[in-house]
């Protein structure tokens, strides 16, 4: 019970003071109902007035005839977040060819062809890119007067994903690429989501540095699609983690400075090097990279070769030409960490316990990341 609220006499309203609170939802419903009724009436009057005003200028869509007579009303029931609205559309009949049509529909531009209004589908999309479709659907029903099934939220998101056109012009901005796994198809380890973004330092907000990011590409599956996209974009500068080679797709390439020592640990583990030893090699490599010391890098390779650590040697040799590119060319970032932050957000939505289809997860993630990075809504500001 709220402070100051009193129980009403039991004879009038029985159990407790909650009755008072129940009046407000009741009033909301009543005012909505009244408003709906008014709007319906006004729209009818407006259509009759408009029809009489324009008589002789409205043409039949089939034969172009202008001799029309009114022929009743057609009810439309679009879903909105305040429940189902009822709207009557004036019908006209062509005296010449007999065609019946609704001339006002095009005039007002109201989407009566759709089953739900855009504002409701938009709310469904917003919830569906953050939560599972089932949860999104029940939350929408709980918070608004409208409802969309889990299936139609999925359909709205797929339609939205199909409309997205990602930017291709990166200028001389640094492009970061990386991949993460999501539970999709029947493959045990799931499928890879490949992402490409640009990242540049942004302004200080509340004394903290920000990063301006833009989504360039997102797909689920093999790396080839990302390659084709990069060929199209032709980035001047590219940072990657070393999982695949992008020598053909970009002019200047920087290997992620966090991933080189990180992966070295894995390759040394393959050669059976004990953990303490692995840590030592990694620490040494980190300080070499920090000191921009190419000679020390080569010495390390030589030493490891003598110790017979072939996996690690191959890894460092492959990374050698891309380890110090940032010394000659200005890269805004030399690690893929601005992208890792986005990967976490992406995994949060993808890991809902369901097995996704490739297209299903791709659609959701594309809309999610496009809205996060390319369309700055206030609720997406970090």
Size of the site for Zn ion (CB under 5 A): 8
Where b means 16+ CB within 10 Å and e means fewer, 229-250 reads bbeebebbbbbbbbeeebeebb
276, 284, 317, 355, 363 from 297: Cα distances, Å: 20, 9, 10, 44, 43
Q: Which stretch binds Zn ion (CB under 5 A): 22-30, 95-103, 138-146, 359-367?
A: 95-103
Q: Does 71 bind Zn ion (CB under 5 A)?
A: no
Q: Which stretch binds Zn ion (CB under 5 A): 94-102, 108-116, 275-283, 374-382?
A: 94-102
Lay out the sheet containing 237-240: strands in order across: 208-220, 191-205, 174-182, 237-240, 252-255
Instruction: Quickly count: other Cβ atoms within 10 Å of residue 346's Cβ.
Output: 22
Applying CB under 5 A, among 63, 205, 291, 327 the residue interacting with Zn ion is 63
Shortest Å distance, C-beta 66 to Zn ion:
9
Q: Which is nearer to Zn ion, 61 or 201 (CB)?
A: 61
134, 155, 362, 364, 370 from 161: Cα distances, Å: 19, 10, 9, 7, 9
Instruction: State which of positions 97-136 bind Zn ion (CB under 5 A).
Output: 97, 99
Q: Does 69 bind Zn ion (CB under 5 A)?
A: no
Applying CB under 5 A, among 5, 18, 62, 202 the residue interacting with Zn ion is 62
Applying CB under 5 A, among 65, 111, 134, 145 the residue interacting with Zn ion is 65
Q: Which is nearer to Zn ion, 101 or 246 (CB)?
A: 101
Cα 86 → chain centroid: 32
Cβ neighbors of 112 (< 8 A, separation 6 or more) are: 76, 78, 87, 89, 105
Q: Which is nearer to Zn ion, 94 or 339 (CB)?
A: 94
Q: Which is nearer to Zn ion, 62 or 348 (CB)?
A: 62
Q: Which is nearer to Zn ion, 33 or 98 (CB)?
A: 98
Q: Which is nearer to Zn ion, 13 or 51 (CB)?
A: 51
Q: Which is nearer to Zn ion, 37 or 96 (CB)?
A: 96
Shortest Å distance, C-beta 112 to Zn ion:
21
Q: Which is nearer to Zn ion, 60 or 129 (CB)?
A: 60
Q: Which is nearer to Zn ion, 46 or 97 (CB)?
A: 97
Q: Does 94 bind Zn ion (CB under 5 A)?
A: yes
Q: Which stretch binds Zn ion (CB under 5 A): 81-89, 93-101, 102-110, 261-269?
A: 93-101
| Euclidean distance between CA atoms 109 and 50, whole angstroms | 15
Shortest Å distance, C-beta 43 to Zn ion:
25
Q: Which stretch binds Zn ion (CB under 5 A): 37-45, 59-67, 232-240, 346-354?
A: 59-67
- Two structure tokens written together for 191: 């499928």
Q: Which stretch binds Zn ion (CB under 5 A): 58-66, 130-138, 161-169, 243-251?
A: 58-66
Q: Does 95 bind Zn ion (CB under 5 A)?
A: no
Q: Does 60 bind Zn ion (CB under 5 A)?
A: yes
Name the site residues for Zn ion (rule: CB under 5 A): 60, 62-63, 65, 94, 96-97, 99
């Amino acid at each position: 019970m709220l402070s100051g609220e009193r129980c009403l006499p039991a004879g009038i309203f029985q159990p407790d003071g909650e009755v008072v609170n129940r009046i407000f939802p009741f009033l909301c419903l009543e005012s909505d109902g009244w408003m709906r009724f008014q709007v319906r009436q006004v729209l009818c009057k407006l259509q009759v007035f408009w029809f009489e005003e324009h008589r002789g200028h409205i043409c039949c869509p089939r034969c172009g005839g202008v001799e029309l007579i009114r022929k009743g009303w057609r009810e439309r029931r679009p879903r909105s977040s305040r429940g189902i609205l009822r709207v009557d559309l004036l019908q006209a009949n062509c005296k010449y060819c007999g065609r019946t049509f609704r001339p006002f529909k095009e005039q007002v531009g109201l989407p009566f062809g759709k089953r739900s209004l855009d504002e409701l589908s938009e709310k469904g999309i917003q919830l569906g890119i953050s939560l599972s479709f089932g949860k999104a659907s029940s939350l929408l029903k709980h918070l608004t007067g409208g409802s969309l099934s889990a299936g139609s939220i999925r359909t709205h998101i797929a339609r939205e994903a199909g409309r997205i056109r990602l930017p291709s012009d990166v200028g001389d901005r640094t492009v970061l690429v990386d991949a993460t796994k999501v539970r999709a198809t029947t493959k045990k380890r799931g499928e890879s989501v490949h992402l490409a973004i640009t990242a540049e330092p942004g302004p200080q907000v509340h004394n903290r540095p920000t990063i301006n990011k833009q989504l360039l590409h997102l797909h689920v599956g093999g790396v080839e699609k990302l390659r084709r996209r990069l060929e199209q974009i032709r980035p001047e500068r590219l940072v990657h983690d070393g999982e695949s080679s992008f020598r053909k797709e970009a002019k200047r390439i920087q290997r992620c400075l966090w991933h080189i020592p990180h992966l070295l640990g894995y390759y040394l583990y393959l050669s059976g090097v004990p953990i303490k030893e692995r840590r030592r090699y990694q620490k040494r490599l980190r300080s070499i990279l920090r000191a921009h010391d190419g000679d020390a890098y080569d010495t390390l390779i030589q030493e490891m070769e003598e110790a017979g650590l072939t996996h690690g040697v191959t890894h460092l040799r492959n990374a050698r030409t891309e380890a110090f590119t940032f010394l000659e060319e200005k890269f805004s970032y030399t690690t893929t960490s601005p992208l890792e932050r986005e990967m976490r957000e992406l995994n949060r939505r993808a890991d809902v316990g369901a097995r996704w289809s490739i297209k299903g997860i791709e659609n959701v993630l594309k809309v999610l990341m496009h809205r996060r990075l390319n369309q700055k809504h206030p609720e997406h500001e970090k």
